[in-house]
């Protein structure tokens, strides 16, 4: 559907008028005057619980936001995505990461091809392979079982698998140690190669085309390292591929029987559910990998079927849109109160900013509003002792998504109560703040003089009224992790539909890659002084001089 400019719509203008009043709201008062605020502004789905009541919004705000979502075609675009329509308009592709977690036997045809059958054929191969490695049946070239797995990829071929393996640490195989190499910086590969044994290491080269520059440089380095300690005939026992380029895979020395494909309707940042998740399946076992897919599918079904006003991804997206567009929030902080989710903020950075970090609409017109906020974050409670100072008393109100599990997967006494206490307390503190009157009373009770109190009041006052969401699960398991990832995938999708931007391409990563190829050739060859600006030329000259020294 062809959409009008967002700010020209009656739905947006109604929100803008409403926002004028909302700027003066205090969340303390919103809670005080509405005893039903918490139950009304919470929702359960797929093993997750979302509390969005600590936002500067009321029932009318949410009604207006849901109306905007309807007028922008969120439901229609959602249905088109699940049906396999080519909603990736700039690449003319379907967007079917959701098909990767559909149960077996649910037919979905795209261009005449049964997608579900293809997906499960690959999943069956993944199960056979991962079972063999995990039970010790897959042996290295000297007859020893695999002890280390090195995933070589970049972007979605690294961020998703690495995040998931760390998140599911409690479910991982005790013998297999997982490593991830993504950076073209040789220090990344060097650090991993120093830890592994060529007799017992399996390398996964994850590149759809088998031409990704950073991945293939790292893969060739790993290959050379291995061949310095083994024969070329031994390569198939130690290297497998996630790719579709059979000829390149065979030329590298990998048996095509050990090549696991995926499809062009799977974007990199949405690919952890595909064969890109091979390292996850190796780490936790195919059964738990399947449970992760099932958790995501449960969220998919909720997203498809729940009315917009009770739809968890839609509500999370609308609250984020409200904070971004009308309350001036230019960034979003992700604060998982679970150490095993330490890479989740980095994962969401790619998911959100690569999807919706766009400045033109699907039709190529400049957007007329702000789009994706900057996404950043760190695990609590570490974050409290790092950047929460800015969030509490800085000049730019920053929304926070708190993520926590009600039960731990460890049995260390005292820790989880302390963790949850900090999580819930920070959420309350961001909402309530501390008034000047409260500070004066506190300091008076501490015995400070009147002069000392007035000197300290500005420094100890917290404005509060800072928005946050709370996402809870019973425990961090493969199923709840799958649901959590899918929640944010669909949230990102909904916001992209409202902005009418192409969320499933990433042309912004291409320009730097093209220029890097030219500069790399100049670092080892002749510099063309006319080909760059004076700064870039000067930097190239400095680098070449350092290499000579």
Residue among 106, 109, 144, 385 flagged as catalytic: 385
d(CA 103, CA 294): 8
Backbone angles phi, psi at 85, to 5 degrees: -65, 155
CB 197 within 8 Å of CB 148 = yes
Residue among 199, 214, 354, 489 flagged as catalytic: 354
Burial of 353: CB neighbours in 10 Å, binned 0-12, 13-18, 19+: buried
Q: Active-site residue 437, yes or no?
A: no
Given phi > 0 = left and psi -120 to 50 = alpha, else beta, which region is 190?
alpha
The sign of the CA dihedral 161, 163, 167, 173 is positive
Residue among 106, 415, 513, 517 flagged as catalytic: 513
- List Cα–Cα distances, 250 to 126, 173, 219, 308, in angstroms: 19, 30, 14, 49
CB 337 within 8 Å of CB 404 = yes
CB 358 within 8 Å of CB 502 = yes
d(CA 12, CA 322): 10
Please give, one letter per residue, the 3-state secondary structure of 69-99: HHHCCHHHHHHHHHHCCCCECCCCECCCHHH
Instruction: For tokens 């502004």, name the residue.
Output: 41
Q: Active-site residue 214, yes or no?
A: no
Note the Cα 489 to chain centre separation in Å.
8
d(CA 378, CA 426): 14
Backbone angles phi, psi at 520, to 5 degrees: -60, -40
d(CA 104, CA 121): 10
Q: Active-site residue 33, yes or no?
A: no
Q: 92 is written with which tokens?
A: 């003319």
Given phi > 0 = left and psi -120 to 50 = alpha, else beta, which region is 520?
alpha
Cis amide leading into 381 (omega within 30): yes
| Strand stretches in 246-371, DSSP E | 259-260, 331-337
d(CA 228, CA 538): 37
d(CA 158, CA 219): 13
Query: Cα-Cα-Cα-Cα dihedral of 110, 113, 115, 118, to 10°?
Result: -160
CB 13 within 8 Å of CB 71 = no
Catalytic site positions: 354, 385, 513
């Amino acid at each position: 559907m062809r959409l009008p400019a967002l700010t020209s719509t009656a739905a947006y203008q109604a929100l803008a008028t409403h926002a004028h009043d909302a700027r003066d709201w205090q969340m303390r008062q919103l809670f005080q005057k509405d005893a039903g605020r918490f139950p009304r502004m919470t929702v359960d789905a797929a093993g997750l619980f979302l509390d969005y009541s600590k936002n500067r919004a009321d029932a009318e705000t949410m009604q207006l936001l849901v109306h905007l979502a309807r007028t922008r075609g969120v439901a229609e675009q959602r249905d088109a995505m699940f049906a396999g329509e080519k909603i990736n308009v700039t690449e003319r592709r379907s967007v079917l990461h959701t098909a990767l977690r559909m149960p077996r036997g649910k037919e979905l045809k795209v261009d005449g091809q049964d997608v579900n059958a293809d997906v499960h054929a690959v999943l069956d191969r993944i199960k056979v392979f991962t079972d063999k490695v995990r039970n010790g049946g897959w042996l290295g070239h000297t007859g020893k079982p695999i002890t280390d797995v090195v995933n070589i990829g970049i972007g979605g071929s690294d961020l998703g698998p690495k995040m998931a393996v760390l998140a599911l640490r409690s479910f991982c195989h005790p013998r297999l140690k997982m490593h991830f190499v993504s950076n073209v910086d040789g220090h990344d590969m060097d650090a991993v190669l120093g830890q592994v044994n060529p007799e017992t290491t399996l390398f996964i080269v994850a590149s759809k085309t088998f031409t990704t520059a950073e991945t293939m440089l790292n893969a060739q380095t790993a290959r050379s390292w291995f061949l310095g300690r083994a024969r070329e005939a031994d390569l198939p026992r130690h290297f497998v591929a996630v790719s579709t380029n059979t000829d390149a895979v065979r030329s590298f020395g990998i048996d095509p029987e050990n090549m696991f494909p995926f499809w062009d309707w799977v974007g990199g940042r949405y690919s952890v559910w595909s064969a890109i998740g091979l390292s996850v399946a190796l780490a936790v076992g195919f059964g738990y990998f399947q449970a992760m897919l099932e958790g995501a599918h449960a969220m998919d079904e909720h997203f498809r079927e729940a009315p917009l006003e009770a739809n968890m991804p839609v509500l999370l997206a609308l609250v984020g849109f409200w904070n971004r567009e009308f309350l001036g929030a230019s960034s979003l902080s992700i604060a998982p109160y679970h150490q095993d989710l330490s890479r989740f903020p980095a994962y969401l950075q790619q998911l959100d900013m690569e999807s919706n970090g766009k400045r033109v609409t699907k039709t190529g017109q400049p957007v007329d509003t702000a789009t994706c906020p900057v996404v950043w974050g760190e695990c609590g409670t570490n974050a409290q002792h790092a950047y929460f100072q800015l969030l509490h008393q800085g000049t730019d109100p920053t929304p926070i998504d708190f993520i926590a599990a009600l039960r731990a997967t460890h049995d260390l006494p005292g820790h989880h109560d302390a963790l949850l206490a900090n999580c819930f307390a920070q959420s309350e503190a961001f909402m309530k703040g501390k008034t000047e009157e409260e500070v004066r009373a506190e300091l008076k009770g501490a015995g400070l003089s009147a002069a000392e109190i007035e000197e300290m009041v500005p420094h100890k006052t917290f404005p509060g009224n800072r928005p946050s969401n709370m996402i809870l699960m019973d425990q961090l398991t493969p199923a709840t992790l799958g649901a959590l990832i899918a929640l944010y995938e669909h949230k990102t999708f909904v916001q992209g539909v409202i902005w009418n931007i192409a969320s499933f391409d990433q042309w912004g990563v291409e320009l730097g890659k093209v220029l890097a190829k030219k500069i790399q050739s100049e670092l080892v060859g002749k510099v063309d002084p006319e080909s760059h600006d004076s700064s870039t030329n000067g930097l190239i000259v400095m680098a070449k001089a350092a290499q000579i020294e």
